[in-house]
C-alpha cells in the first residue's frame, strides 16, 4: 500500500476523498474526526463538542498512561519524543478499539517545520502508517495558515484556540478546587459538571463563549474554599510541549500535599510556536531580539519594503496572518481570564506572553525556534512575580532541547533562588528519588508562601 | 553510640525526642535525651526495614517518649507518628549545629544528592539515581568481592595507588578488578584506592555543575565516614572547606529528633505499641513463565555422549570473546558438533584457546581428528588467527548470523546473552543491518542472573530454570541495575516471597534489562533467535517470549553459535574453493608461545597508531591499528588496492584550500570551537574571522571539557563544550561559538535547519561559563534564504561591531565575503565530488552518511574512512554527492537528514554504492528519519552506527567489519555470477 491509497481531503477541504475515490462530506456519519493529542482534557472536551455541534462525529484522546506509550512500541522505536510516542499509542488504540470498520478517520495532529523533532513528526507518522497499510485514513491533518486552516478559515481555528484557552483556565481552576475545596468529595463533581456545561455551550460559537464562561465562573465561585487562594502555596510545572503528556504524577504529588500546581499553558506553547514567525521575520529585516525582535510593526515594514521577493512576500502574508492571530489570541485569552477570574479559582498573573518571551530572549536567542526561550522567560517572570513559590521542570531523555534548557534553567533558578527541581522522566510516572526532589520544592514552596503571607499581613516575624 | 549534646539547649525536662530516618540501606534511630546526650542506633535493614523497626520499638517498651518524628517518605510510610521532610530535618540539624554550608552533599547507599544551601536554608536539590556505579552500596559490593568489609576496604585504600578501572558498572568493575588482580597488574589496595578516587571525581563533577558557591561543603550520609574519600575530594576541590560532622551519618534523623522536641501535643505519637503501621506487602506479581511456553521453540537437546571420528573431516572453530572463549570440532560430512568447550577468556584469548584445544583433545579420547581447516571469530579473533597459523578470521556478527540463518532461515532478529556480553543483531532480508552490544553495563547479561541468584538465594545457575519455571507468581522486580537488585531480592524474601517466585522474577528482570538496555530503541522483528550461554536456561527464553509476546527459537547449541557459524563460513569458503584444505594437528598447535617483540608508530596517516610486532613459532607479524592495514599484511590479502579516501580530500578542501588566511598583523585572536557546524561552515568562519583582521585559533580535542556539560546532550554537543573549555586557556581574546539555526540550503529544498541543539548551543555554553561570558560570541546564524542571510549580517553587526570596535560596514563586508567564500567551497566540493565519482564509477564505494561533524571529524569518526579504504573500498561523504533528484519528502526539514536521504537515494540507484549511516545517540533529527532509512534500504547492505562518548572502538570495528565483509561477499557473488558460477 502506498500513500496514494490513503484518504485525502478534497482541494477545498470541504470533503474527504476516500481510498476508493468517493467524495464524502465531513459531516457524513462515516467520517470520524479524531484528536489524539493529550493537551488539556477540558480543551479536548471543548473540541469534541465543537465538532458535534456542527454535526460531525469526533473522538478525543484520553489521559496518557504507561499503557498508551506501550501500545506505540509495536510501531515506534522508543527514541522518538514522548508526544509522538504517546500520540502514536493513542492512534493505535483508537484504530484497534474504537474505529468502525466502514469508517473514514481523520487524525488531527499538528506539525510544522522546525529544528526540533516536531519538524519530523510527519516523516515518522508517514513511515509508521505506511507500514500499517490502512485505507480510508487521513493522518497529520494540521490546520495552518498555508492551508487556510484546513479550508475552515481563520475564525474556525481561532475558536479552537479559544477552546484550548478555556481548557487551560479550567485545568488551573480544577487544581485549586482539588487542593482547597472545603468538601472535595462534593466540590469536584460539581466543578466538572459546571465545566462540561460551559464547554458544551461555549463551543457553539463565538457569541456563546462569554455567557457560558460567566455561568461557569458563578458556579465555581459557589464552591467553598477552606482558605483564601492567595494564601495557598503554588508551584508551576513546566518543560515545553512534553509536559502535557507527562505531568499527571507531578500534579497529583503537589495536590496531595496541599500545594496548588499549575501546568504551563497549552495556549502559551501554541503562542510561542506561532510567535517565532514574528521574531524570525524581524530577525530577517535586521531587528535584534533584545529590542525590536518582538514588535509587530516589523512585518508591515517588510511587506511594504522593497527587498522581499514575491515568494518572500507571500511568506510575509502568512506571517501577518499568524501574527494577527497570535495578537488576537493573547488579547482574547486576557478577556477570557478576566471573566473566569471571578470564579475565585484562578491565580496565575503571568499572562503577558510577550513579556515572557522577551525575558527569555536575554538568555537564549528566540530565533533558535525552540521552546527554550519561553521556558526561561517563564522562569524569569515567575521568579519576579509573587504568585508562585516553586517550579518543577520535567524533561525527557530523548528531547535534547529540554535537556539543554534545563541546564540553564537550573543555573538560573539557583541564581534567582527560586525553589526548583528538574526531573527526568520516561513516561507519566515518577520514582521514589524524584519524589525526594519534589519534596524539597514542596517544603520550600510552603515556607515561601507563609513568608509572603506574613509579609502581607504585616507580621514582622 | 552516644554523642554529648550538652551544649545544646534542650527544652525537655524528662524523656527523649526521637528522629527516625530510613535510607536504602539502613535505619537511623536517634534519640535526644533530657540530659543533653544523644543516642544513636544505625542498623542495616537488608531490605526489610519493617522487621528492624519492630525490633527497635519492642526494645523501647511501652513507656517510650511520644516525641517522635519520622523523617522522609519511607519512614512516614512505615511509622504512624508525626512526619517531617528530609529538607526540614537537615535544616534543623544545621541550625542546631550552627553550620552554614554552601553545599550539602548527601551521599547515601543508593543515591547521591546535592543540596544548595544559603544561610542554613536549602535552596535546591539535584540528584542521581539511575545507576549504582559510584554510590555507597557500589563501594560496599566491590570491597565485598575482594573479601573486604567496608572498613577494611577503606583502610586498604589509604596505601593504594590509582589505576584505571571500569567503574561504570558493578559487574564490569568486578571483572576488571579481578582481571587486574589475577594478572598481578595491581593489588587490592590499588583497586580500593581507585574506587575511592572515581567516587570523588563523580562528586567533584556534581559540585561543578551545580554552579553554586562551594567554599563550605558539608558531607552527610554513609559515605561521609570514608576518610580516604573525603581526603581525595578535598584534594580534587583544592582549598574548599569540607566538613564531616560527628552527626553526618545520621544528620536527617538527628534533625528529626530536634523537630520532635517542638511537636505540639496533637502531634505526639501514640503509645509505642502503635507506632509501627501494619506491614504492607508491596510485592507485585507477574504471569507464570510457563504461560509463554506456546511462544517458545526450545531446541536445546540433552548433551549426550558425542564422539570424534577418526574417519571424518573437521573444521576447528574458535570464538574468542572478551569474557568467554568457545571452541568446537565441526564434522563436515555429518553437520554435527562432535566436541565443544566453553571457558573464561581471562583477558588472554590465546591462552584461552590453548586451554580449549587441550579440552577438545581430551574429548577426542585419543583419536587424532582430521582437522582440514580452522576459523576464528570474536573480539580476540585476529590474535587467535595468528596463533592458529593464519587461519581465516571471521567477523563475529557474520558468524552468528550464519549459524542463526542455518537454524532458522527466516530469522530477522538475534538476541544473544552471554556471561558478561549481550548482543543484538537485526536483519533486513537476510542481511545483518543493525547491531548492538552492552557497553559498560552488565544488567542484561548472564552474570547479573548468576550473581544475584547465588549471592542472596544460594541457588546455583543450574537450578535457576527449574525453579523459575515452577513459579506460579513470579515477583515483579522490573528493570534494575545489577548493583541494586540484591536489595530487592532480600526485600522480597523478607516480605515472604517464595524462592521460586523470587527466581522467576529475577529471570523476568534479566529479560527486562536486556530489552530495555540492549534492544532499547531498536526494531525487533518477527523471527527471533535467542542464543548465548544464558539461552540454555529455558526460563529466560520464556521470559523473553512473555515480555515481547513474540515467538522465540532457542537453537540446539545456543552457547556455541559463534564458533559453529565460523565453521559454517569456513565450510562455505572451502566449498567455493576460496580456501584450501590444510592438515592441522592439535598437538602442534598447542606448542609455542605468542609474545610482543617490539612496537612502532604507524605514520601512514594522521592517526599515528601504535603497532605491535607479535612473534609466534618463529614468525613475526604486525598487529594493531585503527584500520585494516596490518590485518591485510598478515592475511596477505592478494591484490588489495587501497580505496580512495574522498573524506580526506574533502577535509583538505575545507580546512586547507578554503581554510585560514591569517592576517599579517592581526588585531587579536578569536578562538573557533571546532565542533558541530564548524565542519560544514569552516570556510565561512575562517574568512569572517580573518576578514575582520583577527587570527583564528582552532580548538583542540579536550576530553575533560567534553565531560563538563550540565545537561544530557548529544556527543557532538558535548564536544562543543570541550572546545570551549580548551579555548578558554588558549590566550584568545574572544571565542566564537555561534547558534547555527539554518544552513545554506541545497537547491530545491525549502528548509535547511541544523537542529534544536545547534540553534542554542552557543547560548547554552555561554550560560555555563558565566565568568567569561563577555568573551564568547554566540550570535544566531541563519543561512537558508537571502533574507535570512541579510538578517544574519545584522546579527553579526550587533554582536561583533561594539565588542571588536569595528565599524558595522566593515563587519558586513567581511560577512558577505565570507558567504561568498563558503559558496565557493560548496561549489568546489560538488565539482570535486563529481569528478572523483566519475573516476570510481562502478567500484565498491561506501557513502558515509551523517553530519560532517561526525563522519569527517577525527575525534568522532573512529578512523572510519581509513578503515574502509584499507579494505579496498572507496569512501565518500554524503555532502560530496550530487544534488538529489526531486521526490524527497518535502517536510524533511534538516540539512543533514536531507543529506542522509540523498545518500540513501544515491546508493539505491547506483550499483556498488553502500550507505554507512553514522548517527549520535539521542540525535533528535535522526530519530525522525531512522525508520524511513530502514524502510528505504531494506534488502540492501548498509550499516548503522550510533556513537556516544562511551562508544568503544571494538564495537565500531565489529559492526563496520561485518558490513565490509558483506559488501565483499556480495561483490564476489556478483563477480561469480558474472562468471557464470552457481552459488
Ligand atoms: S589508521 Fe591505519 S594507516 Fe593510519 S596510522 Fe593507524 S594503522 Fe596506520
Ligand atoms: S543534529 Fe543530532 S548530533 Fe547534531 S547537534 Fe543535533 S542532536 Fe546533536
Q: What would the pLDDT profile of B821-839 be if each residue is shown by its tens digit?
A: 999 999 999 999 999 999 9
pLDDT at B896: 93
Cα–Cα distance, A17 to A8 (Å, whole number): 5
Cα–Cα distance, B259 to B96 (Å, whole number): 10
Does residue B1 surpass a pLDDT of 60? no
Terminal C-alpha separation, chain A? 73
Kindly state if the Cβ of B678 falls inside 6 Å of ligand 2: no
* Ligand nearest to the CA of residue B718, numbered in listed order: 2
Instruction: Write down the residue that cell numbers 561568498 correspond to.
Output: B820
Mean pLDDT value of segment B973-982: 42
* Ligand nearest to the CA of residue B677, numbered in listed order: 2
Give tens-digit pLDDT for B353-397.
999 999 999 999 889 999 999 999 988 888 899 889 889 999 888
Alpha helices in A222-296 (DSSP H): 243-246, 248-256, 266-284
Does residue B884 surpass a pLDDT of 90? no
Cα–Cα distance, B255 to B72 (Å, whole number): 12
Which of B132, B780, B788, B926 to mutate to test binding with chain A, by most A CBs within 10 Å of its CB? B780
Kindly state if the Cβ of B947 falls inside 6 Å of ligand 2: no
Q: Which of A44-58, B36-50, B137-151, B483-497 has the highest mean pLDDT?
A: A44-58
Instruction: Write down the residue that cell numbers 522487621 correspond to.
Output: B51
Does residue B194 surpass a pLDDT of 80? yes
pLDDT at B530: 95
Searching chain B, which residue's CA lies closest to the CA of residue A285? Answer: B791
Residues of B in contact with A434 (CB under 8 A): 129
Cα–Cα distance, B248 to B244 (Å, whole number): 6
Q: Which three three-digit cell numbers place residue B582?
A: 590444510
CA A362 to chain B, closest CA, distance in angstroms equals 10
Tell if the CB–CB gap between A113 and B786 is shorter than 8 Å. Answer: no
pLDDT at B200: 87
pLDDT at B982: 25
Give tens-digit pLDDT for A12-30.
888 999 989 999 999 999 9
Give tens-digit pLDDT for B934-972.
778 877 788 888 888 777 677 788 778 888 887 876 665
Whole-model pTM: value is 0.82
Does residue B558 surpass a pLDDT of 80? yes
Contact A422, A395 (CB under 8 A): yes
Distance B707 CA to ligand 1 centre (A): 27
Q: Which residues, listed in sequence order, are joined to residue B645 by a DSSP beta bridge? A: B875
Cα–Cα distance, A217 to A201 (Å, whole number): 14
Closest CA to B490 of B44, B46, B43: B46
Q: Which residues, listed in sequence order, are joined to residue A395 by a DSSP beta bridge? A: A424
Contact A361, A381 (CB under 8 A): no
Q: Which three three-digit cell numbers place residue B319?
A: 570464538
H/E run at residue B221: none
pLDDT at B180: 65
Closest CA to B250 of B39, B544, B484: B39
Helix, strand or coil for residue B818?
Answer: helix
Contact A278, A251 (CB under 8 A): no
Give tens-digit pLDDT for B736-791.
999 999 999 887 777 899 998 999 999 999 988 888 999 999 999 999 988 899 99
Give tens-digit pLDDT for B628-663.
888 888 877 666 788 999 999 999 999 999 999 999
pLDDT band, residue B730 (cuts 50/70/90) = very high
Closest CA to B289 of B124, B153, B469: B469
Total length of chain B: 983
Kindly state if the Cβ of B755 falls inside 6 Å of ligand 2: yes
Q: Which three three-digit cell numbers place residue B123?
A: 535552596
The edge-to-edge listing of strands for the beta sheet with B694-698 is B694-698, B668-672, B734-736, B776-777
Pairing between β-strand B112-118 and β-strand B121-128 as defined by DSSP bridges: antiparallel
DSSP annotation of A177: H
DSSP annotation of B956: H
Q: Is B919 on the interface with A (CB under 8 A)?
A: no
Query: For residue A351, what are the CA distances in angstroms to A170, A214, A363, A452, B313?
Result: 15, 20, 20, 21, 83
Give tens-digit pLDDT for B900-933.
999 999 999 898 999 999 998 878 888 888 878 8
Question: CB within 8 A of B778, min separation 6: which ones?
Answer: A365, B737, B738, B739, B762, B763, B765, B766, B799
Give CA torsion, residues B510, B516, B522, B526, to 10 deg.
Answer: 50
Q: Is A130 on the interface with B (CB under 8 A)?
A: yes
Tell if the CB–CB gap between B756 and A126 is shorter than 8 Å. Answer: no
Does residue B552 surpass a pLDDT of 90? yes
pLDDT at B11: 43
Total length of chain A: 461
pLDDT at B214: 92
Does residue B665 surpass a pLDDT of 90? yes
Half-sphere exposure of A241 (CA within 13 A, CB side): 22
Phi first, then psi, for residue B887 (nearest 5°) are 120, -5
pLDDT at B486: 65
With pLDDT > 70 as the criterion, what percentage of chain B qualifies?
87
Give tens-digit pLDDT for B781-824.
999 988 899 999 999 999 999 999 999 999 999 999 999 999 99
pLDDT at A66: 73
Cα–Cα distance, B776 to B233 (Å, whole number): 31
pLDDT at B886: 65
pLDDT band, residue B480 (cuts 50/70/90) = low
Q: Interface pTM (ipTM) of the complex?
A: 0.89
Let me know the angle formed at the C-alpha of A127 by A123 and A130, rounded to the nearest 5 degrees: 135
Distance A404 CA to ligand 2 centre (A): 12
Cα–Cα distance, B120 to B700 (Å, whole number): 42
Question: CB within 8 A of B840, min separation 6: which ones?
Answer: B644, B874
Does residue B575 surpass a pLDDT of 70? yes
pLDDT at B676: 96
Pairing between β-strand B2-4 and β-strand B37-44 as defined by DSSP bridges: antiparallel
For helices B461-470 and B446-457, what crossing angle results, to 10°? 80
Q: Is B756 on the interface with A (CB under 8 A)?
A: yes
pLDDT band, residue B280 (cuts 50/70/90) = low
Half-sphere exposure of B622 (CA within 13 A, CB side): 17
Q: Which three three-digit cell numbers place residue B289?
A: 513463565
Cα–Cα distance, B756 to B765 (Å, whole number): 14
Alpha helices in B757-863 (DSSP H): 761-768, 786-804, 808-840, 852-855
Contact B493, B477 (CB under 8 A): no
The residue whose CB lies within 8 Å of the most ligand 1 atoms, and thus the one to mutate among B606, B863, B872, B956, is B863
Question: CB within 8 A of A212, min separation 6: which ones?
Answer: A197, A198, A199, A201, A202
Let me know the angle formed at the C-alpha of B903 by B902 and B904, rounded to the nearest 5 degrees: 90
Contact B824, B843 (CB under 8 A): no
pLDDT at B983: 22
Q: Name the closest-CA residue to atom 2, ligand 2.
A: B923
Query: For residue B155, what are the CA distances in angstroms to B144, B148, B149, B151?
Result: 14, 10, 10, 6
Each residue's pLDDT tens digit in chain A (461 positions)?
Answer: 345 477 889 988 889 999 899 999 999 999 999 998 888 899 999 999 999 988 999 999 888 877 777 677 656 666 677 888 888 888 888 988 899 988 999 998 877 777 777 777 777 777 777 777 788 998 877 777 777 788 888 788 888 888 999 999 999 999 999 999 999 899 999 999 999 999 999 998 888 999 999 999 999 999 999 999 999 999 999 887 778 888 989 999 999 999 999 998 888 777 777 777 778 888 888 887 666 666 666 666 666 665 667 776 777 777 777 777 777 888 888 899 999 999 999 998 765 777 888 888 888 888 887 778 888 888 888 888 889 999 998 877 667 777 778 778 887 888 888 888 888 777 777 777 788 889 989 999 999 899 888 887 765 44
pLDDT band, residue B981 (cuts 50/70/90) = very low
Q: Which of A183-192, B144-153, B974-983 has the highest mean pLDDT?
A: A183-192
Q: Is B87 on the interface with A (CB under 8 A)?
A: yes
The residue whose CB lies within 8 Å of the most ligand 1 atoms, and thus the one to mutate among B601, B603, B604, B608, is B604
DSSP annotation of B295: G
Mean pLDDT value of segment B556-574: 93
Mean pLDDT value of segment B184-199: 82
Question: CB within 8 A of B800, min separation 6: which ones?
Answer: B692, B777, B779, B806, B811
With pLDDT > 90 as the criterion, what percentage of chain B qualifies?
43
Instruction: Write down the residue that cell numbers 479524531 correspond to.
Output: A34
Q: Which residues, listed in sequence order, are joined to residue A443 by a DSSP beta bridge? A: none
Cα–Cα distance, B117 to B100 (Å, whole number): 8
Residues 282-301 of A with CB under 8 A from B: 283-289
Q: Which residues, listed in sequence order, are joined to residue B917 by a DSSP beta bridge? A: B849, B944
Closest CA to B19 of B61, B82, B78: B82
DSSP annotation of B472: S
Instruction: Write down the residue that cell numbers 489524539 correspond to.
Output: A36
Contact A275, A287 (CB under 8 A): no
Helix, strand or coil for residue B332?
Answer: coil
Q: Is B928 on the interface with A (CB under 8 A)?
A: yes
Does residue B133 surpass a pLDDT of 80? no
For helices A310-340 and A153-180, what crossing angle results, to 10°? 40
The edge-to-edge listing of strands for the beta sheet with B241-244 is B121-128, B112-118, B103-107, B216-220, B241-244
- How many helices and strands, by DSSP H and E, does chain B display? 32, 34
pLDDT at B459: 80
Tell if the CB–CB gap between A308 and B113 is shorter than 8 Å. Answer: no
Cα–Cα distance, A452 to A446 (Å, whole number): 10
Query: For residue B124, what are the CA distances in angstroms to A225, A416, A444, B105?
Result: 31, 11, 9, 12
Phi first, then psi, for residue B244 (nearest 5°) are -115, 120
Closest ligand 2 atom number to CA of residue B851: 4
Q: Is the dihedral of CA B772, B777, B778, B779 positive or negative?
A: positive
Question: CB within 8 A of A23, min separation 6: which ones?
Answer: A10, A15, A16, A17
pLDDT at B161: 86
Cα–Cα distance, B69 to B51 (Å, whole number): 19
Kindly state if the Cβ of B852 falls inside 6 Å of ligand 2: no
Q: Which residues, listed in sequence order, are joined to residue A32 by a DSSP beta bridge? A: A57, A105
Give CA torsion, residues A442, A445, A450, A454, to 10 deg.
Answer: 170
Amino acid at each position: 500500500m502506498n500513500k496514494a491509497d490513503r484518504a485525502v481531503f478534497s482541494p477545498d477541504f470541504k470533503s474527504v476523498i476516500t481510498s476508493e475515490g468517493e467524495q464524502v462530506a465531513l459531516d457524513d456519519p462515516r467520517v470520524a474526526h479524531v484528536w489524539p493529542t493529550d493537551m488539556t482534557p477540558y480543551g479536548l472536551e471543548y473540541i469534541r463538542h465543537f465538532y458535534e455541534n456542527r454535526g460531525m462525529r469526533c473522538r478525543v484522546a484520553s489521559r496518557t498512561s504507561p499503557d498508551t506509550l506501550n501500545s506505540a512500541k509495536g510501531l515506534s522505536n522508543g527514541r522518538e519524543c514522548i508526544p509522538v510516542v504517546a500520540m502514536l499509542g493513542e492512534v493505535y488504540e483508537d484504530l484497534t478499539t474504537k474505529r468502525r470498520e466502514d469508517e473514514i478517520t481523520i487524525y488531527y495532529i499538528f506539525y510544522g517545520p522546525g529544528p526540533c523533532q516536531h519538524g519530523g513528526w510527519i516523516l515518522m507518522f508517514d513511515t509508521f502508517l505506511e507500514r500499517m497499510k490502512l485505507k480510508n485514513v487521513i493522518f497529520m491533518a494540521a490546520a495552518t495558515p498555508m492551508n487556510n486552516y484546513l479550508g475552515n478559515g481563520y475564525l474556525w481555528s481561532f475558536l479552537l484556540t479559544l477552546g484550548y484557552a478555556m481548557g487551560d483556565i479550567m485545568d488551573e481552576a480544577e487544581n485549586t478546587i482539588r487542593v482547597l475545596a472545603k468538601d472535595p468529595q462534593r466540590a469536584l463533581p460539581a466543578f466538572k459538571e459546571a465545566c462540561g456545561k460551559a464547554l458544551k455551550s461555549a463551543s457553539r460559537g463565538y457569541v456563546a463563549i462569554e455567557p457560558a464562561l460567566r455561568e461557569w465562573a458563578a458556579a465555581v465561585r459557589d464552591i467553598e474554599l477552606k482558605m483564601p487562594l492567595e494564601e495557598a502555596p503554588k508551584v508551576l510545572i513546566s518543560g515545553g510541549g512534553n509536559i502535557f503528556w507527562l505531568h499527571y504524577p507531578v500534579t497529583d504529588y503537589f495536590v496531595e500535599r496541599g500545594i496548588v500546581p499549575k501546568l504551563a499553558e497549552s495556549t502559551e506553547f501554541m503562542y510561542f510556536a506561532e510567535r517565532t514567525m514574528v521574531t524570525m521575520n524581524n530577525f530577517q529585516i535586521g531587528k535584534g531580539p533584545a529590542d525590536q525582535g518582538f514588535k509587530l510593526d516589523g512585518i508591515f515594514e517588510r511587506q511594504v519594503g522593497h527587498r522581499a521577493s514575491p515568494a518572500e512576500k507571500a511568506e510575509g502574508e502568512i506571517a501577518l496572518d499568524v501574527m494577527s492571530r497570535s495578537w488576537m489570541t493573547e488579547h482574547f485569552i486576557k478577556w477570557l481570564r478576566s471573566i473566569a477570574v471571578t470564579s475565585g479559582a484562578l491565580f496565575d498573573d503571568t499572562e503577558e506572553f510577550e513579556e515572557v518571551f522577551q525575558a527569555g530572549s536575554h538568555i537564549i536567542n528566540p530565533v533558535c525556534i525552540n521552546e527554550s526561550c519561553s521556558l526561561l522567560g517563564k522562569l524569569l517572570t515567575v521568579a519576579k512575580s509573587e504568585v508562585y513559590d516553586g517550579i518543577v521542570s520535567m524533561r525527557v531523555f530523548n528531547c535534547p532541547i529540554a535537556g539543554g534548557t534545563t541546564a540553564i534553567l537550573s543555573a538560573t533558578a539557583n541564581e534567582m533562588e527560586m525553589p526548583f527541581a528538574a526531573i527526568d522522566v520516561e513516561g507519566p510516572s515518577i520514582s521514589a528519588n524524584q519524589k525526594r526532589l519534589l519534596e524539597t520544592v514542596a517544603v520550600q514552596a510552603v515556607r515561601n508562601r507563609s513568608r509572603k503571607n506574613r509579609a502581607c499581613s504585616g507580621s514582622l516575624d | 553510640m552516644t554523642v554529648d549534646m550538652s551544649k545544646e539547649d534542650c527544652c525537655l525536662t524528662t524523656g527523649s525526642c526521637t528522629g527516625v530516618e530510613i535510607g536504602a540501606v539502613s535505619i537511623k534511630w536517634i534519640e535526644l535525651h533530657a540530659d543533653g546526650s544523644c543516642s544513636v542506633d544505625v542498623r542495616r535493614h537488608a531490605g526489610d526495614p519493617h522487621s528492624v523497626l519492630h525490633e527497635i520499638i519492642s526494645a523501647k517498651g511501652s513507656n517510650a517518649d511520644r516525641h517522635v518524628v519520622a523523617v522522609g517518605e519511607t519512614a512516614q510510610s512505615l511509622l504512624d507518628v508525626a512526619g517531617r521532610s528530609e529538607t526540614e530535618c537537615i535544616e534543623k540539624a544545621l541550625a542546631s549545629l550552627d553550620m552554614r554550608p554552601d553545599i550539602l552533599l548527601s551521599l547515601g547507599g543508593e543515591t547521591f544528592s546535592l543540596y544548595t544551601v544559603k544561610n542554613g536554608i536549602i535552596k535546591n536539590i539535584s540528584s542521581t539515581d539511575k545507576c549504582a556505579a559510584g554510590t555507597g552500596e557500589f563501594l560496599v559490593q566491590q570491597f565485598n568481592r575482594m573479601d573486604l568489609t567496608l572498613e577494611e576496604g577503606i583502610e586498604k585504600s589509604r596505601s593504594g595507588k590509582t589505576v584505571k578501572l571500569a567503574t561504570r558498572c558493578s559487574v564490569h568493575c568486578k571483572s576488571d578488578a579481578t582481571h587486574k588482580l589475577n594478572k598481578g597488574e595491581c593489588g587490592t589496595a590499588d583497586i580500593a584506592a581507585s574506587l575511592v578516587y572515581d567516587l570523588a571525581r563523580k562528586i567533584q563533577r556534581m559540585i561543578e555543575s551545580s554552579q553554586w558557591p562551594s567554599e563550605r561543603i558539608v558531607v552527610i550520609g554513609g559515605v561521609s565516614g570514608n576518610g580516604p574519600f573525603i581526603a581525595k575530594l578535598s584534594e580534587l576541590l583544592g582549598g574548599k572547606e569540607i566538613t564531616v560532622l560527628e552527626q553526618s551519618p545520621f544528620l536527617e534523623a538527628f534533625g528529626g529528633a530536634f523537630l520532635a522536641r517542638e511537636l505540639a501535643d496533637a502531634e505526639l505519637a501514640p503509645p509505642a505499641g502503635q507506632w509501627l503501621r501494619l506491614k504492607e506487602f508491596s510485592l507485585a506479581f507477574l504471569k507464570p513463565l510457563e504461560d509463554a511456553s506456546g511462544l517458545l521453540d526450545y531446541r536445546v537437546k540433552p548433551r549426550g555422549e558425542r564422539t570424534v571420528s577418526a574417519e571424518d573431516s573437521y573444521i576447528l572453530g574458535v570464538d574468542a570473546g572478551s569474557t568467554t572463549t568457545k571452541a568446537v570440532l565441526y564434522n563436515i560430512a555429518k553437520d554435527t558438533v562432535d566436541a565443544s568447550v566453553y571457558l573464561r577468556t581471562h583477558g588472554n584469548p590465546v591462552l584461552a584457546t590453548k586451554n580449549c584445544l587441550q579440552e577438545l583433545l581430551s574429548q577426542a579420547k585419543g583419536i587424532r581428528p582430521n582437522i582440514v581447516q580452522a576459523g576464528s571469530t570474536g573480539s580476540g579473533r585476529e590474535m587467535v588467527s595468528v596463533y592458529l597459523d593464519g587461519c581465516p578470521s571471521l567477523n563475529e556478527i557474520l558468524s552468528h548470523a550464519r549459524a542463526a540463518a542455518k537454524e532458522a532461515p527466516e530469522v530477522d532478529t538475534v538476541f544473544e546473552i552471554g556471561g558478561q556480553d549481550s548482543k543484538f543483531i537485526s536483519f533486513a532480508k537476510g542481511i545483518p543491518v543493525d547491531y548492538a552490544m552492552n557497553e559498560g553495563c552488565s544488567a542484561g547479561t548472564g552474570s547479573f542472573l548468576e550473581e544475584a541468584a547465588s549471592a542472596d538465594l544460594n541457588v546455583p545457575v543450574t537450578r535457576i530454570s527449574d525453579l523459575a519455571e515452577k513459579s506460579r507468581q513470579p515477583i515483579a522486580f522490573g528493570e534494575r541495575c545489577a548493583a541494586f537488585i540484591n536489595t530487592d531480592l532480600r526485600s522480597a524474601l523478607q516480605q515472604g516471597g517464595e524462592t521460586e517466585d523470587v527466581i522467576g522474577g529475577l529471570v523476568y528482570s534479566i529479560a527486562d534489562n536486556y530489552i530495555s538496555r540492549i534492544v532499547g530503541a531498536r526494531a525487533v522483528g518477527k523471527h527471533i533467535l535467542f542464543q548465548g550461554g544464558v539461552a540454555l536456561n529455558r526460563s529466560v527464553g520464556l521470559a523473553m517470549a512473555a515480555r515481547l509476546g513474540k515467538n522465540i527459537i532457542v537453537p540446539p547449541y545456543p552457547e556455541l553459535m559463534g564458533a559453529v557459524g565460523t565453521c559454517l563460513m569456513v565450510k562455505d569458503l572451502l566449498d567455493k574453493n576460496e580456501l584450501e584444505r590444510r592438515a592441522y594437528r592439535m598437538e602442534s598447535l598447542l606448542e609455542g608461545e605468542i609474545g610482543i617483540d617490539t612496537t612502532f608508530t604507524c605514520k601512514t596517516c594522521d592517526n599515528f597508531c601504535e603497532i605491535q610486532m607479535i612473534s609466534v613459532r618463529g614468525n613475526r607479524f604486525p598487529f594493531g591499528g585503527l584500520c585494516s592495514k596490518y590485518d591485510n599484511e598478515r592475511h596477505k590479502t592478494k591484490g588489495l588496492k587501497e580505496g580512495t579516501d574522498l573524506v580526506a580530500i574533502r577535509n583538505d578542501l575545507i580546512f586547507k584550500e578554503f581554510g585560514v588566511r591569517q592576517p599579517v598583523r592581526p588585531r587579536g585572536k578569536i578562538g573557533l570551537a571546532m565542533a558541530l557546524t564548524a565542519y560544514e561552515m569552516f570556510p565561512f568562519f575562517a574568512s569572517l574571522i580573518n576578514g575582520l583582521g583577527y587570527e583564528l585559533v582552532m580548538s583542540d580535542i579536550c576530553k575533560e571539557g567534553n565531560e563538563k556539560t550540565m545537561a544530557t546532550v548529544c556527543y557532538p554537543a558535548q564536544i562543543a563544550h570541550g572546545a570551549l573549555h580548551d579555548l578558554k586557556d588558549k590566550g584568545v581574546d574572544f571565542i566564537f561559538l555561534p547558534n547555527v539555526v539554518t544552513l545554506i540550503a541545497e537547491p530545491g529544498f525549502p528548509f535547511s535547519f541544523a537542529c534544536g541543539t545547534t540553534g542554542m548551543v552557543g547560548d547554552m555554553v555561554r550560560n555555563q561559563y558565566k565568568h567569561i561570558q563577555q568573551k564568547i560570541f554566540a550570535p544566531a546564524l541563519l543561512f537558508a534564504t537571502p533574507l535570512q542571510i541579510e538578517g544574519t549580517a545584522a546579527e553579526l553587526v550587533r554582536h561583533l561591531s561594539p565588542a571588536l570596535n569595528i565599524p558595522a560596514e566593515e563587519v558586513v563586508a567581511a560577512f558577505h565575503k565570507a558567504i561568498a567564500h563558503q559558496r565557493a567551497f560548496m561549489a568546489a566540493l560538488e565539482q570535486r565530488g563529481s569528478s572523483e565519482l566519475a573516476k570510481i564509477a562502478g567500484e565498491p564505494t561506501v557513502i558515509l552518511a551523517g553530519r560532517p561533524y561526525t563522519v569527517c571529524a577525527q575525534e568522532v569518526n573512529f578512523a572510519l574512512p581509513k578503515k574502509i579504504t584499507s579494505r579496498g573500498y572507496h569512501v565518500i561523504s554524503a555532502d560530496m554527492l550530487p544534488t538529489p533528484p526531486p521526490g524527497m519528502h518535502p517536510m524533511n526539514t534538516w540539512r543533514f537528514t536531507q543529506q542522509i536521504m540523498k545518500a540513501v537515494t544515491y546508493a539505491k540507484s547506483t550499483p556498488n554504492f553502500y550507505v554507512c549511516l553514522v548517527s549520535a545517540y539521542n540525535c533528535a533529527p535522526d530519530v525522525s528519519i531512522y525508520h524511513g532509512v530502514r524502510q528505504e534500504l531494506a534488502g540492501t547492505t548498509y550499516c548503522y552506527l550510533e556513537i556516544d562518548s562511551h562508544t568503544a572502538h571494538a564495537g565500531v570495528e565489529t559492526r563496520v567489519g561485518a558490513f565490509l565483509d558483506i559488501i565483499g561477499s556480495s561483490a564476489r557473488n556478483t563477480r561469480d555470477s558474472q562468471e557464470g558460477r552457481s552459488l
